[in-house]
Amino acid sequence: MFKDLGTKSLRKVPPIAERKAHRSLASVGHRLACALMTLLISLQPLLLATSSADAQGRRVQLIRDAETEELIKDYARPIFKAAGLKPSNIRIHLVKDNSFNAFVVDSKRMFINTGTIIQAKTPNEIIGVLAHETGHIAGGHLIRLRQAMKRAQTIAAIGMLAGAGAMAAGAAAGSGDAARVGTAIASSSPGIAQRTFLSYARTEETAADRAAIRYLAKTGQSARGMLETFRRFADQSLFSSQYVDPYIQSHPLPRQRIAQIERLAKKSKYYSRKDSASLQLRHDLVRAKLAAFTQDPKRVMRSFKGRDLPSLYAQAVVTYRLGNRNKAIRQVDQLIKAQPNNPYFWELKGQIYLETGMADNAIAPLNKAVSLRPDVGILRVMLGQAILSSKNNRNYSAAVSHLQRGLQNDPDLAVGYRFLAQAYENLGNRAKAEIATANGYFASGDISGAKAMAARAKKKLKRGSPEWLQADDIMSYKQPKL
């Protein structure tokens, strides 16, 4: 199930161009104001690139997959506890992106690219990445980075004011030299501020590395995967880093960082510990599944051409994507025969039937998946959708029951509210259909649409009922200022 999450693109602001000093205090003041405004705008992307979603301000596409989410939660849970964080308070989102990356935007949300999971050969590599990002959350780095940015802005402002003073003095005295000195001071201040801020960011990255290794040791896990990940990055960036000023980078240079991680990692008595065979198999299955759903089918078939379980998983998904339903179902049946209690093999079988117009056939495998994982919201929502789409087994009350329970476990699943609204509409309950639609708008981020629909529903609902209170909450919601 796919869902887009858009972020506004950040326009790159060019550095302040050198200009000739003007000979009036008014023009000096105008130049200073423009320089300060440019600085404030240009420093903002630095903060977002360090602690927010995408350094280039591109839109990111989130995906939902119950199997992958369950695995990542199992990886992260002991790390969060070791860091003194409540696992239930932190949501890990999957970003559909083939590059190797993970990031945090605040103390409650962590993002990891599908490419990170696909490229990581062992669970330990992903666990090391999660441990590093957890270090940022537990260390309060996001809050302190914002404070560092403000301090950097202050440094730049003071420098510019000093430069403006020299420019003003030069203008008043008719001295071109003094004016030129003032211009140089004012023009160089943004660069000084940028270096100050990035120096702080490098310090926080080092602190997150150290914290990650502590968490891994505390949970009895190796830091070898984390070390191997950084080595891979170093190999990719070695040539370019030889000619880069280390003081304009937000992360420590690869060689420095690797040396530190290797020294600390090898001190742990768990350095040689490997992931269990069962965890490695789960990891390999998820890697195969994500690759099959997100990458070019020909490339996937070249990478997964064996007869092992992960390869068969990838082949089944690719066969389904290429439109051969019957062959894909036969391949999934092979998977189920090998692991009859794997809920996600049953889910795939149901998904293939559901998305190829055979909803009646999808109900039984989805029922089996739900029986194996009754608290996974996505599975229940898919089962509710299958019941609604069925021709011979349509039961709107049963659909409502599954959809409601699924949304209780996963209230952010916006598409579930659409199916719930459809079920209520078919049962003749327009008011509940409208509040379900309002909840769906709210979950997808359309606050104005949610408020409009909640206002319509509220007029039809009994005052004080749970649905009336939901409508009231949506109507009174105020978006926080960013």
Mean pLDDT, to the nearest integer, of 49-56?
37
Beta strands in 39-125 (DSSP E): 60-63, 91-95, 102-104, 109-113
List the strands of the sheet with 109-113, edge to edge: 2-5, 60-63, 91-95, 109-113, 102-104
Amino acid at 93: H
**Residue 392 pLDDT greater than 80, yes or no:** yes
Structure tokens at 101: 């990356």
Q: What is the reported pLDDT for 363?
A: 97
In which residue are the tokens 């350094």 written?
55
Q: What is the reported pLDDT for 162?
A: 53
The 3-state DSSP class for residue 271 equals coil
% of the chain beyond a pLDDT of 90: 57
**Residue 208 pLDDT greater than 90, yes or no:** no
Q: What is the reported pLDDT for 389?
A: 95
In this predicted model, what pLDDT tens digit does every residue of 325-350 receive, in sequence order?
Answer: 999 999 999 999 999 999 999 999 99
**Residue 29 pLDDT greater than 50, yes or no:** no
Q: What is the reported pLDDT for 108?
A: 85
Which residues on neighbouring strands pair with residue 3, listed in sequence order? 62
Of 339 and 1, the one with more pLDDT: 339
Beta strands in 85-216 (DSSP E): 91-95, 102-104, 109-113
**Residue 412 pLDDT greater than 70, yes or no:** yes
Of 345 and 156, the one with more pLDDT: 345
**Residue 354 pLDDT greater than 80, yes or no:** yes
Of 148, 153, 144, the residue nearest 40 (C-alpha)? 153
Q: What is the reported pLDDT for 399?
A: 96
Of 434 and 259, the one with more pLDDT: 434
| Residue 254: HSE in the Cβ half-sphere, 13 Å Cα cutoff | 17
Listing DSSP states for 186-202 in one string gives HHHHHHHHHHHHHHHHH
**pLDDT band of 238, cuts 50, 70, 90:** very low
The 3-state DSSP class for residue 2 equals strand
The 3-state DSSP class for residue 157 equals helix
Integer angstrom CA distances of residue 159 from 38, 41, 164, 167, 180: 14, 17, 9, 12, 15
Integer angstrom CA distances of residue 369 from 279, 346, 362, 383: 20, 5, 11, 9
Residues written for the chain: 482
The Cα 308–Cα 302 span in angstroms is: 14
Structure tokens at 203: 């310090």
Which of 4-8, 302-306, 477-481 has the highest average model confidence (pLDDT)? 302-306
**pLDDT band of 416, cuts 50, 70, 90:** very high
**Residue 83 pLDDT greater than 90, yes or no:** yes
Amino acid at 416: G
Give burial (CB, 10 Å; 0-12/13-18/19+) of 75.
buried
DSSP code, position 12 = P
Residues 6+ apart with CB under 8 A from 416: 377, 381, 384, 403, 406, 407, 410, 440
**pLDDT band of 31, cuts 50, 70, 90:** very low
Cα dihedral across residues 222, 225, 226, 230: positive or negative: positive
Residues 6+ apart with CB under 8 A from 212: 128, 131, 132, 134, 135, 223, 226
Give phi and psi for 92, each to the nearest 5. -105, 120
- Quick one: which H or E segment has residue 406? helix 396-409
In this structure, of 3-12, 200-209, 338-347, the range with the lowest mean pLDDT score is 3-12
Q: What is the reported pLDDT for 34?
A: 38
In this predicted model, what pLDDT tens digit does every residue of 366-383 receive, in sequence order?
Answer: 999 999 999 999 999 999
**Residue 125 pLDDT greater than 90, yes or no:** yes
